[in-house]
Structure formats: C-alpha cells, structure tokens
Amino acid sequence: MSTYDLTTRNSTHAGPREWAALAVLMLPVMLISIDNTVLTFALPQVSSALEPTGTQLMWLVDIYPLMLAGFLVSMGSLGDRIGRRRLLMYGALGFGVASLIAAYSPNPTVLMAARALLGFFGATLMPSTLSLIRNIFVDRRQRRLAIAVWGSMFAGGAALGPITGGWLLAHAWWGSVFLINLPVIAVFLAAGSALLPESRDPHPGPIDLLSIGLSLAAMLPLVMALKEFAAHGLTDLMLVAAGVGLAAGAAFIRRQSRLTYPMIDLSLFRNRVFTGAISSNLLSMMAYIGFLFFAAQFLQLVAGLDPMPAALALVPGLISSIGCGFIAVGLVRFIAPNIVVGASFAFAGVGYAVAAFAGAPSAGTIVVAFMLMGVGIGLAETLTNDLMLDTVPAHKAGAASALSETAYEIGAVLGVAVLGSVLTLTYRAHLDLPAQMYGPDQAAFDTLGGTMERASMYPNMIGDHVRSSAVSAFDLAVQHTSAVAIVIVLMSAVIAWRTLPRHTS
C-alpha cells in the first residue's frame, strides 16, 4: 500500500510524483481503449472462424460497452467508498482473467460471455482514473492538461489496438488480439502499487444494490430491443424488451430522487454545463464508434486491405485526435468552449459526408473522413471532460466521472446499436442472392464478412454476382448510416452551442 496520501499535500501545484502517477493511470485507460476497438478489426476473422449471426456479431461488439455502461455508475460509487486505487487493482486482475477467456473462446457464446466480463471489470477502471485525476490535480490548468493526456491516451489506445491487433491478425489467430492486455496489466499492477495515491469520499453512503439492479434492468432490455428491431423488425419481443427497459429506467430515476445517498446525484443535471458536457460526450461517441463499425469492415472486405494496412489507414485520424486534444488546452484561452466544441462536431459531420457522399467510397476517402472526425473528437473530448469535472466538488469526482464514462459507453452502445442497425438493415434489404443460396444457414448472409465467406465457395459467376451485390449493398448502407450520423453530430453541435460556457478560461 502506498504511504502517499492526497491529504498530505501542501501545494495546489502537482509535482513529479503526481505526474508519475498520471503516467501509471494511463495504462488502464489504454486497456479500455484497446478493447473498445481491437475486436472491430478482428470481426472478419471472427465471422469466418465462429460463424456468428448478424445479431450475434453486433452483440459481440456491444456487450462490452453495454456492461461498462451498466456498471460504471455503481463502480464509481463503490470507488468513492472503498478507495479508487484499491478498486483499480482488483479490476485490473479481473480484466486479465477475462482477457484469457476471450482469447481462447471456442464459439460466439463464450466470446460474448468473456466480453461481458471484460466490460464488468473495465467498469472498475475508467471512473477511478478520471476521479483520481480530479483529486490529484487541484490546479485547473494543470488538470486540463492532465485530462488532455488522459484523452490522448484514450485515442492512443484506440490506435495501438488496431495496429497491434492488425499485426497479430496477420501472424496469429484472432484470439491473440486479447492477449495484448496481459503485459499492460502486469506493468500497471507493479507501478500502481508504488505510485498511485488512495482517495475516497470522506462521507460515503451505503451501496444500494436495488439501484444497481434497476440500472442494468433498464439498459440491457433497451439495447436488446434495438438488436431485435435490427434483426426482425417490430416484434413482440422487441416491444416487451423496450417496455421493460423504459419501466426500469423510470423506476431507477424515481428511486435516485428519493434516496438520501443516491447512486446518481440528479442535482448535478440541474447544472446546464454539466448536462451539456455529458450529452455531447454521449452523442460524439455514438458517431465515432458507428464510423469504426463500418470503416473496419469496408477497408478489409471491400477495399481488400489486410488487417495491418487497414489499421494503419486509420492512424492519421487517431493522431489528429491526439494532437487536437492538446491544442484544445490552449485554444480555449482565446475562444469560448461552446464555439470550440460546437465547431468540433461540425468537423465530424464533414468527415461522415466525405466518407459517404464524395463519390464511391474508397480507402482514401475513409482516411480523410477519419482525420476530420479525429479533429472533432480530439477538440471536444478534452474540453467537455474538463468542464464536467470542474462543476462538481472533489469528493464527488468518482460519481461524476462515472457519469461521464457512462455517457461514453452508452454512446458506444448506441453507435453500434443504432448506426449498426441502420447499416445491417440497409445491407440486408439490398443484398441480391441467387435462389440456390437460400437455405437454413441464411443468417450467414447478415454480415458482409459472412457473405464474402459464402461467396468464396462459388468460384464462378454466382460467386462473382454475390460479391458484387454485397459491395453495392454495403456502399448504400454506408451512405444511409452516414446520413443518420450527420444528424447526430449536428444535434451535438447545437447542444454544445447552447449549453457550454460562452467565455474563455
């Protein structure tokens, strides 16, 4: 146990030890970010090896951020009570075990279970990192720089995941992409035990298990309803799931408003800046993950790139995101946050427009589009997180950080659930299959990867027709998905313009 404690500090300025602690905190951030993107690039190989249905494929992506979103608030509250450093250590160990299970999954069901465990233990990591930053860096300008580093590592992990994963996919089986977590965890456990300070809420309330259950009972059915709608349209299961989710959500909110020590302090949402920052985070992540969902498939299955070149094609966009995160620190001294963040979402919208409507989609247009999105996400992420943390007292940093991360992960879930559903529905509606390909394994044609795999079994005109039809259907699906995403980012721009501060800082 580290003997250093936050209460022993006499200066509001962070010194070498605090910056070293920040470096250690970046390791779990990188873990979460890697696992948010690494499976996306392995989807074609997973489709071939495990043969999931289209709905299962979306769940393989979604279950991780879903579990993160479901447990982030409760884990943020738990960290406030038992200690954020302690929770980080336990979570890192669990994350390593879940990574091993995922790497050696024999079928889609086991892989989904492992991804669910990764999401659960990941929920112990993210709110603790951001809340520790809030408590370690008291000076606002230093904290803003620390948050820029945090955001840059988030983007850096998103880059490292596909690049490392792309190299592994070129030399090993798809499960190897999960093994890259293990050395990071080992380094974190060793360095964190020596350098990280402990912090907690000095006056915590009790853990409310009913609130935790209600939060899960709200999120899981709602996402299930979206998946069911994507797979089968308006069905009884979809309506029941949506009804259960909405009812549980209403009960959760009502309970939080009556508890003395709520899991979510609803009074935080009376602050317009806090609400605007949270909403912007959710919508921006929704657009970002939705883009990656189709870009990774397009680069490999349509443009014909191997996993490593496909991952490298997105690196310029990730670099632009990292750079703009640091630029935002200085830019906000001269330009009001509402203008900077609002303009950032306009960049993201232009990125989607380039991807879908600048002629036939190609690897080049995807690269340019993702660079524009990187500019937008990089500028917005640093400022919205800084504004969110600045509106709450330090002892509530864990709960507020958990809300911020929950918004991120709900956005990631919705990015795949909503935009992924638009992509899947459009693709399936416009895919033209010859009569001899209809049969009991029809679900194999729900995804572009599955269709290409089946087409390879017909090395003749039938196979050529299916491949051509799949590419055309996917191109149209990208256009429809991008149109929806542009509406989302424009909504984000309006929210930022109306809610965030109109003065420099």
Q: Can you tell me the mean pLDDT for 433-445?
A: 64
As for how many domains the chain has, the answer is: 2
CB 467 within 8 Å of CB 433: no
Q: Are residues 239 and 321 in the same domain?
A: no
For residue 6, what pLDDT is reported? 47
For residue 10, what pLDDT is reported? 47
Considering the domain boundaries, does residue 185 fall inside one?
yes
Q: Are residues 93 and 22 in the same domain?
A: yes
Q: Is the pLDDT of residue 3 over 50?
A: no
For residue 254, what pLDDT is reported? 92
Average pLDDT score over the chain: 79
For residue 12, what pLDDT is reported? 66
For residue 2, what pLDDT is reported? 46
Residue 103 sits in a domain of what CATH number? Answer: 1.20.1250.20
Q: Is the pLDDT of residue 248 over 90?
A: yes
Considering the domain boundaries, does residue 133 fall inside one?
yes
Q: Can you tell me the mean pLDDT for 430-441?
A: 69
Q: Are residues 394 and 407 in the same domain?
A: yes
For residue 117, what pLDDT is reported? 92
Question: Which of 58-62, 115-119, 421-425 is most confident?
Answer: 115-119
Residue 5's DSSP bridge partners are 198
Confidence of residue 34 (pLDDT cuts 50, 70, 90): confident
CB 323 within 8 Å of CB 66: no
For residue 83, what pLDDT is reported? 80
Q: Is the pLDDT of residue 230 over 80?
A: no
Q: What is the pLDDT of residues 286-343, one digit of tens each?
A: 887 788 778 877 887 788 787 678 777 878 887 888 788 888 878 888 888 888 888 8
Contacts of 470 (CB under 8 A, 6+ apart): 427, 431, 448, 451, 452, 455
Counting Cα atoms < 13 Å in the Cβ hemisphere of 331 gives 19
Q: Are residues 372 and 350 in the same domain?
A: yes
Which segments of 123-235 does DSSP mark as H helices, in order?
A: 126-136, 140-171, 181-195, 209-232
Q: Can you tell me the mean pLDDT for 29-54?
A: 75
For residue 8, what pLDDT is reported? 46
DSSP class of 139: S
Which among 243, 258, 273 is the end of a domain? 258
Considering the domain boundaries, does residue 252 fall inside one?
yes
Q: Can you read off the two tokens belonging to residue 82?
A: 């038992």
Q: Are residues 193 and 216 in the same domain?
A: no
* Residue-level length of the chain: 505
Considering the domain boundaries, does residue 435 fall inside one?
no
Task: Give the range of the structural domain holding residue 225, as residue numbers without chain letter.
Answer: 209-258
For residue 134, what pLDDT is reported? 73
DSSP class of 138: -
Q: Can you tell me the mean pLDDT for 261-266?
A: 76
For residue 17, what pLDDT is reported? 80
| Neighbour-count burial for 294-306, b at 16+ CB within 10 Å, e otherwise | bbbbbbbbbbebe
Q: Are residues 235 and 124 in the same domain?
A: no
Q: What is the pLDDT of residues 490-502, one digit of tens each?
A: 888 888 888 888 8
Distance CA 505, CA 501 (A): 9
- Reduced to 3 states, what is the DSSP secondary structure of residue 447? coil
Q: Are residues 361 and 224 in the same domain?
A: no
Confidence of residue 246 (pLDDT cuts 50, 70, 90): very high
Q: Is the pLDDT of residue 394 over 60?
A: yes
Considering the domain boundaries, does residue 115 fall inside one?
yes
Amino acid at the residue 21: A
Distance CA 371, CA 315 (A): 9
Q: Are residues 253 and 264 in the same domain?
A: no
Considering the domain boundaries, does residue 385 fall inside one?
yes
Which among 242, 258, 274 is the end of a domain? 258
Q: Can you read off the two tokens belonging to residue 284?
A: 């921006």
Q: Can you tell me the mean pLDDT for 359-378?
A: 82
> Percentage of residues in the chain with pLDDT exceeding 90?
5
Question: Which of 125-139, 242-256, 373-387 is most confident?
Answer: 242-256
> Percentage of residues in the chain with pLDDT exceeding 70?
85
Q: Can you tell me the mean pLDDT for 433-449?
A: 66
- Output 139 or 251, whichever has higher pLDDT: 251
Q: Are residues 349 and 214 in the same domain?
A: no
For residue 250, what pLDDT is reported? 94
For residue 457, what pLDDT is reported? 75
Considering the domain boundaries, does residue 319 fall inside one?
yes
CB 372 within 8 Å of CB 347: yes
For residue 441, what pLDDT is reported? 60
Confidence of residue 357 (pLDDT cuts 50, 70, 90): confident
Q: Are residues 241 and 291 in the same domain?
A: no
For residue 192, what pLDDT is reported? 83
- Output 257 or 205, whichever has higher pLDDT: 257
Q: Can you tell me the mean pLDDT for 33-40?
A: 71
Amino acid at the residue 103: A
Q: Are residues 397 and 273 in the same domain?
A: yes
Helical axes 397-414 vs 126-136, angle rounded to 10° = 140
- Reduced to 3 states, what is the DSSP secondary structure of residue 99? helix
Q: Are residues 218 and 267 in the same domain?
A: no
For residue 94, what pLDDT is reported? 92
- Reduced to 3 states, what is the DSSP secondary structure of residue 278? helix
Q: Is the pLDDT of residue 98 over 90?
A: yes
Considering the domain boundaries, does residue 95 fall inside one?
yes
Question: Which of 72-86, 208-222, 485-499 is most confident?
Answer: 485-499
